[in-house]
Each structure stands twice: as C-alpha cells, then as structure tokens.
Amino acid sequence: MKAVILAGGLGTRLAEQTEVVPKPMVEIGGRPIIWHIMKHLSCYGINEFILALGYKSEVIKRYFLHYAQLNSNCTIDLRTGDVFRQKAASEDWILHLVDTGAHTMTGGRVKRLQSVIGNETFLLTYGDGVSDVDINRLQLFHEDHGHLATVTAVRPPARFGGIVFDGDRVESFTEKPQIGEGWINGGYFILEPSVIDCIAGDGTSWEKEPLEHLTEQNELFAYRHEGFWQCMDTIRELRILEEYWQTGKAPWKVWDRSDSQKQSGENSGRRTEISVGLH
C-alpha cells in the first residue's frame, strides 16, 4: 500500500521554524518530523511514499536527494571527485516527490496525485504529527467494514493541567496526557481510489466537502485509536515531542519495538460512523 503524505502547508503557527524550512522538515531529535512519520509507517510494510509538496518544496527534495550520502559512510577521492559509499542507508523506501502547488488546498493536493496513486487502496496522512497507530489493524478494520473511507479518530492531548477540588482546597493537580472526552480527526486515513472523484479541484479542502460527502453517503467509518497521538502545530507541541525523544521514551518510535510490544501498546479499533472532524 502506498502512503500519501501532505507536506505542502505553510505552518504559520511555527513561524520561527518554518521561515527557513517547511513544517514537515522541522526536526525532532535531529531528524525532520516527516522522517519519523515514514519510519513509523515502514514498520508496517509501507515503503512507497508520495509526498505532496508545496511551500519550500526544494528543501524536502534536497534532503531526500542527499539522504543516502548523508546517512552512510563514504570514501571521497578528491582528485577525481569520485564518491564510494561503504554502507548503504538503512531505509528501503521509494519516494515520489510531487509539487502540488504553493497554495493548493489539502484536497486539491490529493487530486493532483491521482495518476501516481493509481487504482489501489492507499493511506493518507499529514506531515505534522506522530502517533503509535497500528497500521495493520487500521487496514484490517477498513477491509472489514468494506466502505470507501476510514479515518483514525483520536482523543486530543490535554493542553492544561487538571485540578480536582475538595471545597476550596486543591486535592490533586495533574497534567493528563489526553482528555477523556471528544474525538477528532487524527489524520491517518485508509481510502479507496474512487474517493478522489469527490474532490473538485485545487480549491477543495479534504476536511470539508469530500469528507462531508462521504459522511452523507454513509461511506466514512472511524477507527478509534486510544494510544498516543500528538500533532505539532505550535512551538509548545514541538518542545513536548523533543522532550519525549530526549528522554528515550518517544511513544511513536515503534521501529525499536518487537511485534508483541507494538500490539500491546495499541488498543484494538472499534467501528463507528463519524461526523466530519477537522485536523
């Protein structure tokens, strides 16, 4: 299964970072977040990626064009300019880097990729968040309900500490990792190729008309993920992810886990119809 990653947005709320690089290239632990997303997906056998580029697309292209050289040992003959790689990069990935327009909306970007996606079921996600979603279970869930589209529903992380009172006395104060209510669009979709026909063109936001249409047609189902999920919309959220990584406890780093650990860390999904949620 191919994975489409939306990697063309401006990332205005991360302005101090995205003035230099596009949002998917903002680093966590010295690696761009898009690399973390791809490493996660590749643990489940997804090794072909279609990157929908826009803002500062040349930065992403340059990174992957030089990826093999920068991530392997090499010998350089300065007299001839020949370079001999001694150890290949570990990722066995195929990348399609496609410029989809600087101002194209999310749905329009997917529409522009139709010929590259082809006629097979595909995964769609955003280039600005990480999770420990079990992609195998997500795919099986999609196949089981037999409809056109699956969205991963998540509980958003709490932004503030929770206070429990005993009268006027604070009984407890906790920073809960996730709130106990509400589900939002977590950004991991499994889609049949015909859903692209729901997208009118460049000005279409994927989160609006296409998802609304699929909902009205009873073709959109939700896989409820109760594990880790974190977007990177603000500097605060970037720092949260960096802290996870530096402590060695990044929940999305599933590529260092055994298969049994991956399964124990993910609650099984449940099928439900879902109204449109915004990412």
Domains, the chain, ranges and CATH?
A: 2-273 (3.90.550.10)
> What is the per-residue pLDDT for 19?
74
> What is the per-residue pLDDT for 157?
72
Q: Count Cα neighbours of 246 within 13 Å in the Cβ-side half-sphere.
A: 9
**222-276 pLDDT, tens digit each:** 999 999 999 998 898 999 999 999 999 999 999 987 554 455 444 444 444 443 3
Of 91, 90, 121, 99, the residue nearest 2 (C-alpha): 121
| pLDDT average, residue stretch 143-171 | 79
Task: Report d(CA 25, CA 56) in Å as an integer.
Answer: 10
As to burial, measured by CB atoms within 10 angstroms (0-12 exposed, 13-18 middle, 19+ buried), residue 156 is middle
Cβ pair 214, 192 in contact under 8 A: no
Given pLDDT bands bounded at 50, 70 and 90, which one contains residue 163?
low
**78-97 pLDDT, tens digit each:** 999 888 877 766 789 999 99
- With tokens 């429990």, the residue in question is 164
Cβ-based neighbour number of residue 51 at 10 Å? 25
> What is the per-residue pLDDT for 216?
92
As to burial, measured by CB atoms within 10 angstroms (0-12 exposed, 13-18 middle, 19+ buried), residue 8 is buried
Residues in the chain: 279
The one-letter amino acid at 200: A
**pLDDT at 176 exceeding the cut of 60:** no
239: three-class secondary structure by DSSP: helix
What average pLDDT does the structure give for the chain?
A: 86
Integer angstrom CA distances of residue 44 from 104, 116, 139, 144, 254: 30, 21, 10, 18, 10
Partnered with residue 164 across adjacent β-strands are 172
| pLDDT average, residue stretch 127-154 | 96
The one-letter amino acid at 108: G
> What is the per-residue pLDDT for 15?
63
Task: Report d(CA 51, CA 8) in Å as an integer.
Answer: 9
Task: Report d(CA 23, CA 21) in Å as an integer.
Answer: 6
Which residues are within 8 A (CB) of 61 and not within 5 positions of it... i.e. 6 or more apart? 53, 97
Task: Report d(CA 231, CA 135) in Å as an integer.
Answer: 18
**pLDDT at 153 exceeding the cut of 90:** yes
Given pLDDT bands bounded at 50, 70 and 90, which one contains residue 36?
very high
2: three-class secondary structure by DSSP: strand
Measured over the CA atoms of residue 55, residue 60, residue 65 and residue 69, the dihedral's sign is positive
Tokens matching residue 54 = 């826009």
Task: Report d(CA 165, CA 168) in Å as an integer.
Answer: 6
